Homo-oligomer: A and B are copies of this chain.
Amino acid sequence: MAARAGVSTMTVSRALNEPGKVSEEMRERVLRAVREIGYLPNHLAGSLSSNRSTTIGLIVPSIDNSIYTQTVKGLSEVLKSSGFQLMIAESGYDPNEEEELITVFLSHRVSGLVLHSTEHTPQAAEKIRKSGIPVVENGNIPREPLDMVVSFSNYDASYAMTMHLGRLGYRKIAFASLYSVHNDRSQDRLQGYHAALRQLGLDPDPRIVLETERGLAAGAEVMARVVQSVPEVDALFCAGDVLAVGALFECQKRGWKVPGRIALASFDDVDLLRHVSPSVTTLRLPRYDIGERTARILLSRIMDGAEHLRGSVVDLKFELIQREST
C-alpha cells in the first residue's frame, strides 16, 4: 500500500488517522492509492501497536430479553458515532459464566466493559481491577460498585410503586418478581416492597410474595394462585417485565375486574401496557438513557482520560405512570 502511493507506511498511517499532520498533496496521493487498491487498514494491527482499541464489551444476562434491547440501542448509537464497536455476550445469569466472558473480552483488549449484572465473582472483580479498564454496571445500583454505575435503583422503584398502591388504599398487596438467585435486581425489588409495607404499616404475608419465571404464562399463573389462595388480596404488583400482561389476561379470562376485584401494577413500561384495557399502571424506566449515558461516560474515560469520573454513580430517574389498572 505504502509502495503504491510511493510514500512511507508512516505517512499512510498519518494521512488516514491524522490528516492534519500531512500535506495536502500527500493526503490526496495516499487517498487515491487507497481507493485504487481498495486498501483496508488492519484494525487489529493498529490496536496492537497503539495499545488502544475501539471495542467495548457488553455482557447481559440474556440477549432475548426485550428489556435490554433499548439499553443496547442507546449504547450502540453513541458508540457508533465515535467509531467504537460493541461486542456482546450473554452470561445466562451465571457469575462464573460472566467471569469467563470478562476474561475473553479482556484478552480481546476491549477498552471498556458494560455489565448488566452487579453480582460478580471475586476473581472477575480482580481481573477487571488489574486490567485497569473502565467499567460500567447498569442493571442496578450496587452497594459496592466495581467502578462506575449508570442505572436506576430497583429498590427505590419498587418502593415507590408499593407506596403508590398503599396510598391508593390497597391493603393486601401481593408481590411477584423473577427468581432472585443471582439476580440482585430481583432482590432489591423485594426489599423495596418490604420497606414500603413497613412504611405503610402493613403486615408482610409470605403467601402473597412469589417468585416466578419470565413470560405471560408465568404472570397468569401467579395471578390465579394469589387470588385463589388468599382471596382478600386487593392488589398485585408484578415486578418483572411481562408478568403483568399475563396476569391481566388471566383476570380477563376469569372475569375478575381490574381494578375492581384486584388492582394491577407492573414494573417496566412495555408499549403493551398502555394499549391493553384496562391500561396498566407501571414504572417508566430510563432504559435507553442508561445505554446512552453509559456509552458517554465510558467514552469520556477512554478518550479524554477523565479520571475524575472513576467510581461515579449515576442514578437515573424513573417515573411512575398511573393508569386505569390501579
User: Which A residues contact B (CB, under 8 angstroms)?
Assistant: 38, 40-45, 47-48, 53, 55, 62-66, 69-70, 72-73, 76, 80, 83, 85-90, 103-109, 126-127, 130-131, 215-217, 220, 242, 245-246, 249, 252-253, 271-272, 275-277
A86-B88, A242-B271 known, 7 other contacts, Cβ within 8 Å: A38-B130, A44-B47, A64-B69, A66-B66, A76-B88, A217-B275, A245-B275
Q: With A and B bound together, what is the CA distance between A73 and B65 in angstroms?
A: 10
Nearest 5 Cβ contacts at the A-B interface: A64-B69, A64-B73, A43-B107, A44-B48, A216-B275
Q: Is the CB of A44 within 8 A of B53?
A: yes
Q: Select the residue from A62, A89, A105, A107 with max chain B CB neighbours within 10 A.
A: A107
- B residues less than 8 Å from A53 (CB atoms): 44
Q: A89-B80, A275-B220 are in contact. Are A38 and B127 (CB under 8 A)?
A: yes
A109 engages B249 (CB within 8 Å): no
- CB contact under 8 A between A88 and B88, given known A43-B108, A277-B252: yes
12 pairs, A vs B, C-beta closer than 8 Å: A40-B106, A41-B107, A44-B47, A55-B108, A63-B69, A64-B66, A64-B73, A66-B69, A73-B90, A86-B87, A216-B275, A249-B276
Residues of B within 8 A of A272 (CB): 216, 245, 272
Contacting residues, chain B, for A65 (C-beta < 8 A): 69
The count of identical subunits is 2
Residues from chain B with Cβ under 8 Å of A108 in the complex: 43-44, 55, 85
Q: Which of B48, B63, B73, B275 contacts A249 (CB 8 A)?
A: B275
Q: Which residues of B contact A220 (CB under 8 A)?
A: 275
- The answer to whether B271 touches A216 (Cβ under 8 A) is yes
A41: chain B residues within 8 A (beta carbon): 107
Contact of A89 among B64, B85, B215 (CB under 8 A): B85
Contact of A87 among B47, B70, B85, B253 (CB under 8 A): B85
On chain B, the residues within 8 Å of A76 by CB distance are 63, 88-90
C-alpha gap A50/B80 in the complex (Å): 28
User: How far is A106 from B38 in the complex, measured between Cα atoms in Å?
Assistant: 12
What's the Cα separation between A275 and B251 when bound, in Å?
12
Docked complex Cα distance between A66 and B271 (Å): 12
CB neighbours of A245 from chain B (8 A)? 272, 275
- Residues of chain B within 8 A (CB-CB) of A70 are 64
A249: nearest residue on chain B (CB-CB)?
Answer: B275
